[in-house]
A and B are shown apart, each in its own frame.
Chain A
Amino acid sequence: MAIIDLSQLKTYTPALIHQIHNSFCEVRLLELGFLPGKKIEVIRKSPFGHTFYIKTNSGCFALRKNEASSIQVKCI
């Protein structure tokens, strides 16, 4: 099981959240339901991969590349 950044994940490929390694946005991401072990999926990337449309158990979110790459995911 490879661990990669969420920003590197292909669209429509479910993965599991491993950990968040950016303390600046970690609290907010946790509050939004980005919890270790939860399923996560990239639905869409904006042109040039700047903004990410993310789906988790707790809903859909728009994240920038910076936030997305702070989330490490385990490929299933």
Chain B
Amino acid sequence: MIKNIILIGNPNSGKSSVFNRLTGLSQKIGNYPGVTVERKIGSSSFEDGHSRTITDLPGCYSLFPSTQDEKIATKEILTSSIESTDEIIVYVADITKLDKHLLLFSQLKSLNKNLILCLNMLDRANTNIDKVEEYFAKTFSVPTVAISAKTGFGIEKLKKVIQDFNLPTDRESKDIFFDLNHWDEERQETVNAVGEKTLLTGREYLNFILTNHLDWLHEISPAIRDRINGIEQSDFKPTQSQIQDTLHRYSILEPILLQAKSHINNHPSISEKLDRLVTHRIAGPVIFLILMLLIFQAIFAWAQIPMDWIDGLFGFITEWMATSLPQGWFTDLLVNGIVAGIGGIVIFIPQIAILFLLIGILEETGYMARVVFLLDNTMQKLGMNGRSVVALVSGGACAIPAIMSTRTISNWRERLITIMVTPLISCSARIPVYALLIAMVVPYRRVGGVFNQQGLAFGLLYFLGAIMALIVAFFMKKIMKGDSRSFLMLEMPEYRFPNWKNVGIATYNKVKSFVFEAGKIILIISIVLWFLASYGPKDSMQAADTLTEQISTEQELSPEEEAQTLATLKLEHSYAGIMGKAIEPIIRPIGFDWKIGISLITSFAAREVFVGTMATIYSVGSEDHTASIQEKMQKETFLDTGKKVYTKATVWSLLVFYAFAMQCMSTLAIVRKETRTWKWPIIQFVYLTLLAYFSSFIVYTILV
């Protein structure tokens, strides 16, 4: 029995829907070693009681890859061929687009793979299912199943076919798509030489493909690479041989398909008509802008309610623990360190979920491809690619998946510029920071009936980030040398109603990885912070005690006021206070005090930590557990001057700082991974920090 099932197909073949149908929620999303291409693996249980592993390879058009995704898929396919591992390939094809979807299938056939042909999207055509299945099964001698991943029709049958799959007895059956004898002598010699060197004699198409990939073959296997290295290819023209192979395949497929098509009647497409509006030179950008505005309004309108619940819940838990648990350092750690830290993670879930959901829907419907068409020209002027828009828009949710999505851009300079400016797009981690700070200086008042002032302030910050991203991109384009090979050949998928299962599972996976990956960092930092803010050098902490006593007797404070003063002074003398004070001279010109300094230090790991830090600082610094952080911050005054800390100038300066600064370790880690050097994340960190500092300086100087 073969336990490994691999899904392969062209982009937009509905492969992911099939994967979701087969595996449901039992998916593991990881990365391929060394690259950040998503590796999706899941398991599925079958009628025979066994469960099988399903791998979803990135979509690709052929075994002649031109993007990173396709290279990964090609590499996996070739590696399994070289090592002759046993697996079943379920080849997913769009039944309405068989003209081009069977090209890769024919190549896999020539590699003698164990294939099942899965004709997807039955819901888009009137098909004589039995005739079509029988016809392809006979023509290609592969089991064929017609399904609709959207409705679920045929999935059970597909599973049955997988379960009953028998290894063909004549593995080296006649290849109708490839015949080495048709090639010129030189090509034949090279292919045979590769075959001998790699000990893969007789597997002509595999060796033929290998001769085409000598330039990046080292990614396959060093051993094979070394063996082939010695082969001289005189007058080698990989492109010519690829064109010849492709054209030959089409010429064989065409008559086959002509006969099949009598059984398939595609439903009329609405895409073209819809696109007259969506890609219109004026209507198009207007629709795009309205959609983006709607997304942001939706996040605030929808997310607020569950966020209030979560906030209330954690307030309740904190208070309950503080009152019912025995006093001591452990309760303090639990309440002000751990619970505060977890609360800081959980509060994000509604916003992240909604953002990923909405962006997921835009991608599912096929709208994103239209955005690429609309904005490619503009983005090119800024040194980027139409596809960069997808990254920049996703950056509104999180820079990490956004930067990962740039791998579909094949031009290195365009991709790098996109990676470098994506963190300037305000991500969801900034939302709580913005929310906290805006509420302190902008009144909640309606403007023009629809928007309120706080919403507009949010909008302004997002706009600021987006504009700055474009400006930086423009300058990077001027500075960086480009390579000329930039192209755009993008398929416009048919519009389709979003598949809720796909969108739901993707959102679930992303939220899950946020909670566990980012959550870990945030929780650890929260605990470290609690320690830093609760403890300090012994003599320094003693000084706080003496000082409190002194102030207390001088000003005749009530016991309550005395406790308050002591807490504040203790924080000031703690390790955190010392660190914050150390950087105060640098941040004073932009209006920040040492408490903000502490938050800046901690949120260089992740910016959402700001709110948590503020929560920790102000709950450590006060006996009052019930007042919100915001109320506490608003009351905050400088101990020496008695003036309010959070003036309009300081808050706006802080907002601008958070809009621009690179405060996310995970993003830096992803950039390192994507660019494969520390050079770019370091440059990114330095330029964003300087940009943030000087912008804040300007804002503070103007407003103060």
Binding site for B on A (CB under 8 A): 23-33, 35, 43-44, 46-48, 50-51, 53, 55, 57-64, 66-67
Contact = CB atoms under 8 A, between A and B. Distances in A.
Interface stretch (B97-105, B294-302, B423-431): B97-105
Contacts of A58: 97, 99-100
B492 interface: yes
Given A51-B386, A55-B272, 7 more contacts: A24-B239, A28-B487, A61-B489, A61-B491, A62-B369, A66-B487, A67-B487
B326 to A, nearest CB: 66
A46 B376 contact: yes
- The A contact surface, by secondary structure, is mixed
Contacts of A28: 61, 66, 487, 489
A52 to B, nearest CB: 9
Interface in B375-422: 376-377, 380, 386
Nearest to B381: A50
Main secondary structure of the interface of B (DSSP, over half): helix
Interface string B217-231: 000000000000000
Contact of B491 (A24, A47, A59): A59
B279 interface: yes
Interface string B482-508: 000101111111100000000000000
A74 to B, nearest CB: 18
A46 B373 contact: yes
B490 A61 contact: yes
A75 B601 CA distance: 66
A53 B279 contact: yes
Given A27-B239, A62-B490, A51 B271 contact: no
A53 B250 contact: no
A60 B489 contact: no
A50 B89 CA distance: 40
Contacts of A48: 377
B377 A43 contact: no
Given A46-B377, A58-B100, A26 B487 contact: no
Contacts of A66: 487
A41 B649 CA distance: 57
B564 interface: no
Contacts of A43: 272, 275
A41 to B, nearest CB: 10
B491 A64 contact: no
22 contacts: A23-B239, A24-B239, A24-B485, A25-B487, A27-B64, A27-B243, A30-B247, A30-B250, A31-B61, A31-B100, A31-B246, A32-B100, A46-B373, A51-B488, A58-B99, A59-B493, A60-B275, A61-B491, A62-B373, A62-B488, A62-B492, A67-B489
B121 to A, nearest CB: 13
Contacts of B376: 46, 50-51, 62, 64
Nearest to A57: B99
Interface string B266-286: 000001100110010100000
A44 B488 CA distance: 15
A55 B246 CA distance: 21
A63 B489 contact: yes
A46 B487 contact: no
A26 B239 contact: yes
Nearest to A31: B61
B62 interface: yes
A64 B275 contact: no
A54 to B, nearest CB: 9
B58 to A, nearest CB: 15
Nearest to A27: B242
Contacts of A57: 99
B488 A67 contact: yes
B492 A59 contact: yes
Nearest to A50: B377
Closest 9 A-B residue pairs measured CB to CB? A60-B492, A50-B377, A33-B100, A62-B373, A31-B61, A62-B490, A64-B488, A58-B100, A58-B99
Contacts of A31: 61-62, 64, 100, 103, 246
